[in-house]
Amino acid sequence: MKLKRIALILLCSCGMGLHAGALSPEQTAKIMKVIATGCGEIQVNCKDAALKAALSAVGLSVEEGAPIAWCSNLPDARANLAKGRLVVVGHPDLLSAACIVVEEDGGRPKILLNSTNLRACKLKLGDAIMKIGTIR
C-alpha cells in the first residue's frame, strides 16, 4: 500500500511541466525508480548517457547485466527481452518488443503494459505499477 502511494505521488509530481513528446531524463528516471523498487531491484541497464546520469541521481545503479533495461530502439529492446529482462521504453511503437512503455499523454506520464512480454520476463512487476498501467 505504501509503495502504491509513493508511486502515485511520484507519477503526479512528474506530470508538472511536461513537454509534448518524450519525458525528460529526470522524469523518466523517477518513474524507472518506481518500477525498479517495485520489482525489488536497484540496478538498471541503460545506454542513454543523459538518462544514465539521471538514474544515478535518483539512486539507481546503472549496470550492463541488470535485470531491468531501458531501451531506445527496437533491436536493443528485442535483444534485452530475449535475455529475460524487464524492458522499458519511451515510445509506444516499441511496445511489441517491450514490457512497459513510459510516455507523456496530455501533460502527464502514462504507463502502457505488454502482458505477453511481462509474463516472459524473469522479474515480477510490482502491484503499484500493475494498477497504474494500462494493459495493451
What is the pLDDT averaged over residues 90-101? 94
Q: Cβ neighbours of residue 83 under 8 Å, at least 6 residues apart?
A: none
CATH number of 2-135: 3.40.50
DSSP 66-90: -SEEEESSHHHHHHHHHTT-EEEES
Q: What confidence tens digit (pLDDT) does each residue in 31-59 have?
A: 999 999 999 999 999 999 999 999 999 99
Per-residue pLDDT tens for 17-35? 333 348 999 999 999 999 9
Residue 107: per-residue pLDDT: 83
Model confidence, pTM: 0.83
Higher pLDDT, residue 95 or 7: 95
pLDDT at 116: 94
Cell numbers describing residue 131: 494498477
pLDDT tier, 79 (very low <50, low <70, confident <90, very high otherwise): very high
pLDDT at 128: 85
Written as one string, the DSSP assignment of 8-49 is HHHHHHHTTTPPSSSPPHHHHHHHHHHHHHHTT--EEEE--H
